[in-house]
Structure 1
């Protein structure tokens, strides 16, 4: 992978370059002190895969730069900043970043995030290459005049798209949620017409068994169930923060209107928006997280996207 680093602190640029080279994550194609020094043409000419950019800089800041690149830079963008304002972080995600790394720089965090980015890029490139191959050998329908046949979308593909919209790219609980979607899809196909929704505990047990294998002990399954439940709860809370941030930026945002009341209770959304706006800590029990509603909404929205 080829990286480009934008940060007004030369020490940070040097530290990031050292981490990338030491961990053999790729090559640093260039760097700049602020966003005014880069554009999509420069990044394209340097064949940049990942842009690492600071949030606040004296010239053009990170959010403004990301907005300028929107729709033209095809790589991934990782925001780096010591700013902890959830409103600003929400604006960064809304502008188009996919990951956020906090300062001061933590080597383990940087490596973990960049490896996730690399894996995501490899997956996208593999899918693109497969599609090109299928097209080249006539599986796109061009020869028969039937038009290009779109690859069949799975529940996981659709769920990944929805979770990305909800700002959950890279969250630990994403894989658990995707596994739950597969369990629900299998449950529906095996028991068509059966009313009701499986209990959350049953879903967590199913994905724990799937992850650990049939020979796993009951004690290990229980530990994994508890861990999965915690990961999912954190992911759902992060989605709430992301959606509330979108609402603060633009109450008429299409994504906010589409997801706010489908995945969450409107009262909880309003409470979270006020907390973010006032930058206050949530009062204990002020927001009662409804994980089951979130998972039901995720499944229905993912199915809708498969149609």
Structure 2
């Protein structure tokens, strides 16, 4: 492609060459007419004589020979380590004594997929899927976070001060250490729209999970989404008869992930990562109460305003046509 300041396009080169070759113009006159140098005019005229109009297109600037290119044996070692170990350029370069930029160039020339696009267990490209309509599949999972003691925890003040705040916040002890407890984030996220519903609960028992789903089902229904199927991991609360019966009473089919394959439930796993990065550890909270108070605002922003890369930069609400639930 000609750059923005190029004096001629492919059509202009063809006109110049025809003036010189077909009409017999002198090179200097043609160069002056088309405002290029005589050398440039000669180059396009010579190409036209040999190749015709096809020769007016831009050619690759890649050299015919690259004597300083990485030797083939080294390239093979780079590709072997990537396929066998699934290492990145920096680690491969450290093993082979080659610059990381060189390893990156080798991998790029070979068309090797990025590590982020591979299943780390098998090394195969991740098969991404998305159901066609909201409610076709809802991912459910639990994320456990340590509670923040009053005054702030170790992430803000370091271990010594954080432990002092923990001892001041609770009288419970285990092996001489204060027990602050945990927050259990129960999440349900729609596969198609990525619309998410999260509650912070006191445990992950079957009764708690079943009650959470009753409220999540009502919430999705209020947003115009009819849930047809739910997928969970093989946690004890989701293997219980109570969980099975709760879904059955609501007319929802149940699906489980393959054992030791959290990627199957990857959408909710990725949501929990975003949740911890942008809410749980996004700023220094002075107490667990302050952190929990910030969750509803963040969830609203995530569902209605935050640009989602998997949705073309649009928020999840953009994929729920009947978001208010008025046209059910």
TM-score of the superposition, structure 2-length normalised?
A: 0.25
- Structure with larger Rg: 2
Select the structure that is richer in helix.
1
